[in-house]
Structure 1
């Protein structure tokens, strides 16, 4: 069972591409957190699942550090096999926080967009200054103790031209696990920027192929496409759950805060009728995508909620998502010397 918990909506940064930026600011209460543990325990028994992974999310999650610290301790006492994950902007880090996350977290991701130019273009502080000079020293402190730390790069149409150089610099800093993540909600992707993404991806593939360092590199966006498993039915609200700061329960993080997708709350549980309504579209085919070789693997054919949010129609694929999927596959094939031309829409 995978649970994402929003501990806070607050953030000390003002990233230009942040999808949480326009939403309300609020921290989760102690009463909600107490109920979260009870809700998770009960739901796991209901679905007969004994594996639990929890993402402590935000905002910037470490702005609610004291609550996270207490919650992790309490949860591990009740559910000792739980795994914890977190992505942090790496601007809030002292010795206490550092020692806590390297000891208690199974997976740590830090948000770094690569080069100084790419990072400071979008990842700015509330005072409108770039955060690179704060983030890098803190990220390297974490990396020193946790070599498995993931550098998560958000790639959009503005900073895509820095992608390869950013990956190269992160490798030189010591990162082995790098996750360039194209921003699917960036409406400014066009033929030119998509072609640039493809070009930058090929440069990364060439670099990884000749890399002679003493460690294996894992570059997510490029490596994952051909290993992607065939789509299963949406498990939102079943084995995947997102809990907002007010205790409301949603099928996934993309739907969080959208009342029409709310399934219930941690106090009263999940409403079966609401669950059925959310999953009504699961078995509907996307007619325009029938015949595509990626139909059974693509995000747009599995996640109808993201289609609704991006296009206004559960069964209409986003052209941006489609193109990004094609590029991901083409780059994976390029690694195997099977590069094919891409037909951009």
Structure 2
């Protein structure tokens, strides 16, 4: 499968199955486009006389015959090297992916089903998750860590995210569970990587020091410019949260040497010019950031709609170009959705089936129920078990294990499938009633982000060569 596009003056050819990226001139771009227009050729087809004859007939009005012949030879060489017109070797592996055992390596601990903000788009309903307000007890959290240790098999590195609601509203239990985890590491030859996601309202020096000592990563929730943030992330009395939390976040980010954290925002229809919010983060001094598109029903006034996609794509293009210039000026920063590894990347199972929700990654409610991920919490059809009994409905894990880019018709012919791995299963279920679907608006944005990320790699490689 070949994907071709033009962005910021670059002619880019992506060989989807190998992951090879080629930045080419107009002639080579047109030659590849002609060859890919029908059934994509293999080495033998490229050597047939009719292949050259077809190229000459199609392109002779634009290019000289000798140029076309030379370009075809370049294409043949790339094909022989396995970097162009490669075949899909992953689909035959899908049965192996489906047969993997459930080895849980990560938990999202809902340490607090309560929150001190009233964010308008919150899928957790101000922390209640379709249920009741509650704080996780130390006893339930301890059982959750025990469950993770037992369910992780021989895997040594384990991940635990303290989540909410707002985790800092149950801070003592967070500290106690980290201490318990450190004790268990020595006994079971495990290593816990703890993360906390916070809105920052309760952040102080003592909490900051603990986070810096014990947390591998921290996610800081902020939506961007003051007016944008305060419109969507107010306190329950309607007052904005920006002025209180921004200085705290700046202090925390600096204390971590601008590493091992993310400022994470959400953009809505209210700020389709979200590139300005990303740049606002950068101007505040943050180096690690992400702004995610809101997911909501069309009846929600802030929800993104199909007609918003062109504007959103323009914003990603604008942001990518500005990030290139800032990088050249020595003022670069990381934007999560433009971070892409073209040389290594995730393992095959991750490329095919995504985040591991329902199999490798589970969410735990304050009372110890297990769900495939935090976005399924409260939907009883996805209740998988509890920390006392473990997974009591393994058929749910089987269903998630069988979800891949090959179980979704929309993914099969999508060039971005090995980068998004089929997208968010919760979004698919919420919009289509099945996890074996794709959230269409999200797909459109993901494709644009992949294109921008690849273009940035090309542009920064050019800048490096010029030095």
1:115 paired with 2:216, answer no
Q: Residue 202 of structure 1: SS of its match in structure 2?
A: helix
Are the counterparts in 1 of residues 296 and 304 from structure 2 also a CA contact under 8 Å? no
Q: Secondary structure at the match of 2:269?
A: coil
Q: CA RMSD in A?
A: 2.5
Residue 309 of structure 1 corresponds to 430
Query: Which of 221, 232, 236 is the equivalent residue of 2:352?
Result: 232
How far apart, CA to CA, are the structure 2 residues paired with 1:69 and 1:202? Answer: 42
SS of corresponding position for 2:113: coil
The aligned runs of 1:87-106 (5 Å cut-off) are: 87-106=197-216
Whether the 8 Å contact between 2:200 and 2:221 is mirrored in structure 1 is yes
What's the secondary structure of 1:170's corresponding residue?
Answer: helix
Q: Structure 1 residues 34, 240: CA separation in 2 closer, same or farther (over 3 Å shift)?
A: same
Asked if the contact 1:7/1:61 (under 8 Å) is kept, the reply is: yes
Distance in 1 between residues matched to 2:341 and 2:381, nearest whole Å = 32
Displacement of 1:288: 4.2
Is 2:63 the counterpart of 1:63?
Answer: no
Structure 1 position 195 matched with structure 2 position 310:
yes
Unpaired runs of 5+ residues, structure 2, are 1-104, 460-467
Q: Secondary structure at the match of 2:375?
A: helix
1:183: how far off?
Answer: 1.9
Paired with 2:230 and 2:252, the residues of 1 have a C-alpha distance of 21
Distance 1:186 1:103 in 2: 40
**Could you tell me how far 1:42 is from its partner in structure 2?**
1.3
Distance (Å, rounded) in 2 between the aligned partners of 1:139 and 1:197: 27
- How many Å apart are 1:213 and its aligned residue? 5.4
Q: Does 1:323 align with 2:438?
A: no
Are the equivalent residues in 2 in contact too, given 1:27–1:64 (CA < 8 A)?
yes
* Pair 1:259–1:200, CA change in 2 (3 A): same
The aligned runs of 1:269-280 (5 Å cut-off) are 269-271=390-392, 273-275=394-396, 278-279=399-400
Q: Which of the numbers 251, 262, 268 marks the counterpart of 1:150?
A: 262
C-alpha contact 1:5 1:242 (8 A) present in aligned 2:
yes
- 1:316/1:90 CA distance change after superposition, 3 Å: same
Work out whether 1:205 is the aligned partner of 2:326.
Answer: no
Tell me, yes or no, if structure 1 residue 83 matches structure 2 residue 204: no
SS in 1 for 2:134: coil
In structure 1, C-alpha distance between the alignment counterparts of 2:341 and 2:156, rounded to whole Å: 29
C-alpha distance 133-280 of structure 1, shift in aligned 2 (>3 A): closer
Q: Which has the larger radius of gyration?
A: 2
Matched, 1:73 2:175: no
Aligned pair 1:171/2:291, yes or no?
Answer: no
* Aligned with residue 219 of structure 1, among 311, 319, 335: 335
Residue 139 of structure 1 corresponds to which residue in structure 2? 249
Report deviation, 1:304. 4.3
1:292 alignment partner, one of 407, 414, 417: 414
Match of 2:272 in 1: 160
Q: Supply the distance in 2 between the matched residues of 1:94 and 1:14 (Cα, whole angstroms).
A: 21
Unaligned runs of 5+ in 1: 339-345
Contact 2:109 2:161 (C-alpha < 8 Å) held by counterparts: yes
Deviations 1:78-101 (A, max 9, x none): 125211111210111222212211
TM-score for the superposition, normalised by structure 2 = 0.66
Q: Distance in 2 between matches of 1:268 and 1:73?
A: 24
Once the 2 structures are TM-superposed, how far is the Cα of residue 277 of structure 1 from its aligned partner?
Answer: 5.4
Shift of 1:39: 1.3
Determine helix, strand or coil for the equivalent of 1:92: coil
1:65-121 residue CA offsets vs partner (Å, 9 max, x unmatched): 111011111111112521111121011122221221122111012111111122112
Aligned counterparts of 1:304 and 1:152: Cα–Cα separation in 2: 21
